[in-house]
Chains A and B, each alone.
Chain A
Amino acid sequence: MNRVTILSIVVSAALLLYILEMVRRRKLREEYSILWLFGSVVLLVLSLKKNWLDSFAHALGIAYPPSFLFLVGILFILLILIHFSIAISKLHQMNKKMAQEIALMKEKATGGTSGDPSIGP
């Protein structure tokens, strides 16, 4: 095994263990961990089985096999970022609804008489 193979095995294994540990400690929710786990497993497999990487690259007509690895990595990052944008949009919507509900409830509770300006920044 050459040095770069060892390096990529160590890095992807560390990534996999780190994600699992974060989920175990409840710092990362399961639904957000799935893409990361999937990505790190793919990286680990391609690092361990260098001939798989070569044959995938060959099958796709990619002359330099490591660039197939880059392609996989970039597509994976793209997927995760889209996933985050969707999650943020959902949180934005929920946040808006809650702020509106709070304003309506405050008015109901005080009858609109007591002055209670926002606690905002």
Chain B
Amino acid sequence: MNPGMEGTPPRILVILPAYQEERSIGGLVRSLRERYPYDALVVNDGSTDNTGDAARGAGAIVLDLPCNLGIGGAVQTGFLYARSRNYDVVVRIDGDGQHEIDDIPKILEPILAGRADAVIGSRFLGETGYRGSIPRIFGIRFFRFLVNVTTGYRVTDPTSGFFAINPRLVAFYSDHYPSDYPEVDAYILMHRLGARALEVPVRMYDRSEGKSSITAFRAVYYMVKVTLSFLINRIRRFG
């Protein structure tokens, strides 16, 4: 898989899942489109505010889900779109401005060069200056251990939602993607496919608008659910 070698530029789709982001999504889409020739796809996850129109107004392709599916279901809708339109690379970034869009080329480069099937942005590689709360750091360390022990991938940021994948993974994720908190699970899926995954350093920020989908109470549920579905995916059949 080596898109872009036949003279035509690779077709790249940036997926931005968004829920109640009417205040920040427009600006984010605009700066993406000013900087890059990529298609921006906003998956509006059943927002009750004007997220969809704000994204459309800024020039994004918008998929309006009729109800809230959660982050995994929303991102998967983007994969389904990408698969039907045969994009060469799919980038997924948060719709709330947490991910530094200047770092997108770093995420794309190994896939375009054919060196990786998936490239995941890590806030812990190199000098990225990320500081998180103690429970969050604990959770990340726990999942780092889980992924490293069970898959052999050497991962520093297992919960990163800033990544790029090639069409093979897009096709697989279109059929099999966890409903909520999908990032850790994705390592098992990649492992089962024998995909080459690579981390690159990126910058991430605290949220500017809205509130994080992970509250203190949900953190425990998050840990248990992800661990369970991670271990189940180890022994599951994929038809």
Q: State whether these chains interact.
A: yes
Name A residues whose Cβ lies closer than 8 Å to a Cβ of B: 92, 95-96, 99-100, 102-104, 106-107, 112-113, 115-121
CB < 8 Å neighbour of B53 from A99, A104, A117, A121 = A117
* B64/A121 in contact, CB under 8 A: no
Name B residues whose Cβ lies closer than 8 Å to a Cβ of A: 43-44, 46-48, 50-53, 56, 61-69, 73, 76-77, 80-81, 84, 179
Residue of A nearest to B84 (CB): A104
* A117/B73 in contact, CB under 8 A: no
Shortest Cβ-Cβ A-B pairs, 10 listed: A103-B63, A115-B53, A100-B77, A103-B65, A120-B46, A112-B61, A117-B52, A96-B73, A118-B46, A102-B66
Q: When A and B form their complex, what is the total count of cross-chain residue pairs whose Cβ atoms lie within 8 Å?
A: 70
* A103/B56 in contact, CB under 8 A: no
CB < 8 Å neighbour of B48 from A107, A116, A121 = A121
> Chain B nearest CB: distance from A40 CB in Å?
35
Residue of A nearest to B50 (CB): A117
Contact of A118 with B67 at beta-carbon distance under 8 Å, contacts A96-B179, A112-B62 already known:
yes
> Chain B nearest CB: distance from A87 CB in Å?
17
* A120/B77 in contact, CB under 8 A: no
